[in-house]
Structure 1
């Protein structure tokens, strides 16, 4: 089978499309024929060799953790799913023709494989950081870097929960944020003053890691009201860095429920072939994403 792999840490050029042995579903796992794999920042962080305790790596290593596809092997003890079912979820080495998933859900009606592959990690992250930052209905949440996958999810979950959102993004994504129900403004010089003009901020999320932690603390008045998923230096300013994943099965269940109620849709900005995985990582690292990027098999 085809598999995107890297034998050493480094830039996008270390990624190679190789022939590999097919994985098989062990107890409590399923294997899918991958139709699409989600591209996440954690993918290129691991490839670069960043020390992520939740993601130990043995070289050579596959790439990817999110995928959507068709079940073709069911491991011992697994119930409620059978070969031929379309599912999406989380596993390992998902940039491949076949991947083993450790958490999954049946795909909602009307969702394409490309769309479904973009949901698992961003939804788990969005639900987790909203819980950790403690924002409630009737309050206002500031989201720095709001147009990407996690931001798109946060804005829609917040809207469903009665939480007002102010989002920062590039000039090209202002209408996109407004379409998701947020008050929008651009980042860059003077961004904090522009946020103040839009209203009071009760809590804030840093999703882009663009050096805004001090301003987020000033805007909320309390470092405990700020959570970052992208700035490893955030704890130095008393801000929580959220890097430990919660329950993926719970996140997938809530994803399915929100989609079924018409309350959640994360668009796919761009699709790539397996041979274009390096380009997908370059684009993901550059940011400015509107929604998700996926590798299609």
Structure 2
């Protein structure tokens, strides 16, 4: 039984890789769409929520957690595993807080859609990116490989992919060397794992963002965010993006941003 389950998982992984290889052109389309926004559109939450984000393409997994009204956008484009009504105000906040960001790290990039979106959002919102780091135990996906190729051709940004767990000494060495100043944490969703990821980057990062901070499916990361808001209050201001859809029975996802108070708001 175990061998059959492993074989099925391998087939699923292979099928997903092929699917994203077929959709690799989406990466270039997304880059152009993000670059085409004007400053007013980058902070227009209603526009981002209702038009721009759905058009980038949404996730098609665990659809019981997804609002059915967004079904036409499932399984397309960047496959963003985000609620547009959470991601939109987060992107608007990010557009106002990108200045001074020189390095971006994503812990748990998976298929890579969010990594592409946030990196390009930073580039087009005033950040002076020098390095971007994607970390995940799986091999680089077609989205990541395509995006890294484009970065190397078009931008003076060093792209780094680390296929490993965030607890490995190699990752710790990379963090100590690169000192990422903006980190998105979406890896191990256990309380211990997510806390370790926070502590891994805390001494360097001036912006730390946690995912799944308001999710009944992720009680550990939800609890961790509640604790971090209190423990980190002396050093960080916190911002929450946790709106839900009435068509969903329950609360899911949620984005929590922390910005070091010594940094200019």
TM bracket (short chain): 0.3 to 0.5
Greater Rg, structure 1 or structure 2? 1
Q: How high is the TM-score relative to the length of structure 2? A: 0.42
> Higher relative contact order by CA 8 Å / sep ≥ 6: 1 or 2?
1
Greater percentage in helix: 2
Greater percentage in strand: 1
Q: How high is the TM-score relative to the length of structure 1? A: 0.39
